[in-house]
Amino acid sequence: MNRKEKILIMGACGQIGTELTAALQLTYGVNNVIASDIKHSDKLPEGTLFETLDAMDVKQLLTIIKKHSVNQVYLLAALLSATAEKNPEFAWKLNMESLFNVLNLGKEKIIQKIYWPSSIAVFGPTTPRVNTPQFTIMEPSTVYGISKQAGERWCEYYFNKFNVDVRSLRYPGLISWKSEPGGGTTDYAIHIFHEAIKTKRYNCFLEENTTLPMMYMDDAIKATTQLMDAPFESVRIRSSYNLSAISFSPKEIFEEIKKHIPDFSISYLPDFRQKIAESWPATIDDNCARNDWDWNHSYKLTDIVDEMLKMLSNDLKKLF
Ligand code: SER
């Protein structure tokens, strides 16, 4: 592993960023990881090097890159599916401009490696929903999905045209307890744990049988670092890799939580996010990731429920 890496994380205070910052600090050392975001969060590990950065401000970005001699960038700043529907123009601007800023730094050879997340949102209502293949019909119907699909095309273009070493994963819904989810359609799978512990009641914004692909954050971090550590030649897909762990519906996760909290109850009141969820795959075929760089997930639904309930209950005890 190259210990001379200097890494900048953009959008470091979000759901993925806070955990990825900690993971990269462990591997590369606290002084080689610079967290940045539009504003600081106390969720970042203590002692983290932090820079305030608007991901759309290319001048500010370049100043930070030069100041710290950064050679690798993880661009996590984005508006997610539900939030983007409320502010489409800004979502498009933020999601695309930030990507171009970073890809162009790769083109100019100012940075050597880029990570940029895509999502299951690149798929749409005309995509086969079961075992969705890596290469298939992609007609996303959300602003977020459109921006991720366009972004994937640009990543592949910059790789082919300018030899930019950009790597990407199509994350499913990510479940974590350390920080809040960021305005996505899959956020219910985190809210449900908080409400199960606090009030023993949950009103779900998706219908009970809406199955979506999901993953525990530890697996997502593992996949991300594995992809970034993989040899250049092994990363054969330069748009974005399908990535999968488990799939479940609100009813299935509710039943699993109920095994631990018998008087937990749920009601369903679907809102605009139901339509988004219905346009996405139920299960994903991620054989390319498994073959190209040995991806394998560790957490099953039962493991996730055990750990989420344990960690969130501990967190709550600390508060009172
Ligand atoms: N979790 C994301 C969302 O719901 C999908 O990438 O928007």
Alpha helices in the chain (DSSP H): 15-28, 58-68, 81-86, 88-107, 143-162, 188-198, 217-229, 250-258, 273-278, 287-293, 301-319
d(CA 152, CA 74): 15
CB of 184 closer than 6 A to ligand 1? Answer: yes
Report the separation in Å between the CA atom of 109 and the middle of ligand 1, taken as the mean of its atom positions: 31
Give CA torsion, residues 63, 69, 73, 77, to 10 deg: -30
pLDDT of residue 319: 62
Q: Which two tokens stand for residue 56?
A: 């759309």
**SS3 per residue for 183-239:** CCHHHHHHHHHHHHHHCCEEEECCCCCCCEEEEEHHHHHHHHHHHHHCCHHHCCCCC
74 tagged catalytic: no
Report the separation in Å between the CA atom of 107 and the middle of ligand 1, taken as the mean of its atom positions: 29
How confident is the prediction along the chain (320 residues), in pLDDT tens digits per residue? 444 899 999 999 999 999 999 999 999 999 999 999 999 999 999 999 999 999 999 999 999 999 999 999 999 999 999 999 999 999 999 999 999 999 999 999 999 999 999 999 999 999 999 999 999 999 999 999 999 999 999 999 999 999 999 999 999 999 999 988 889 999 999 999 999 999 999 999 999 999 999 999 999 999 999 999 999 999 999 999 999 999 999 999 999 999 999 999 999 999 999 999 999 999 999 999 999 999 999 999 999 999 999 999 998 777 65
Index of the ligand 1 atom closest to the CA of residue 119: 6
CB of 169 closer than 6 A to ligand 1? Answer: no
DSSP state for residue 87 in the 8-state scheme: S
Determine which one of 74, 144, 216, 299 is catalytic: 144
pLDDT of residue 48: 98
CB of 81 closer than 6 A to ligand 1? Answer: yes
CB of 279 closer than 6 A to ligand 1? Answer: no
Index of the ligand 1 atom closest to the CA of residue 185: 4
User: What does the angle CA 115 – CA 119 – CA 122 come to, to the nearest 5 degrees?
Assistant: 120
CB of 15 closer than 6 A to ligand 1? Answer: no
pLDDT of residue 36: 98
d(CA 78, CA 98): 8
Name the residue of 148, 152, 169, 186 whose CB sits within 8 Å of the most ligand 1 atoms, as the mutation to test its pocket.
186
Give backbone dihedrals phi and psi of 173, rounded to 5 degrees, phi first: -65, 135
Name the residue of 87, 119, 174 whose CB sits within 8 Å of the most ligand 1 atoms, as the mutation to test its pocket.
119
Report the separation in Å between the CA atom of 185 and the middle of ligand 1, taken as the mean of its atom positions: 6
Name the residue of 144, 224, 247 whose CB sits within 8 Å of the most ligand 1 atoms, as the mutation to test its pocket.
144
Index of the ligand 1 atom closest to the CA of residue 80: 7
Shortest CA distance to 145 belongs to which of 212, 199, 106, 91?
91
Strand-pairing partners, residue 75, are 10
Strand-pairing partners, residue 34, are 8, 49
pTM: 0.96
Report the separation in Å between the CA atom of 173 and the middle of ligand 1, taken as the mean of its atom positions: 6
CB of 186 closer than 6 A to ligand 1? Answer: yes
Residue with tokens 């899959």: 186
User: Is the CB of residue 284 less than 8 Å from the CB of residue 172?
Assistant: yes
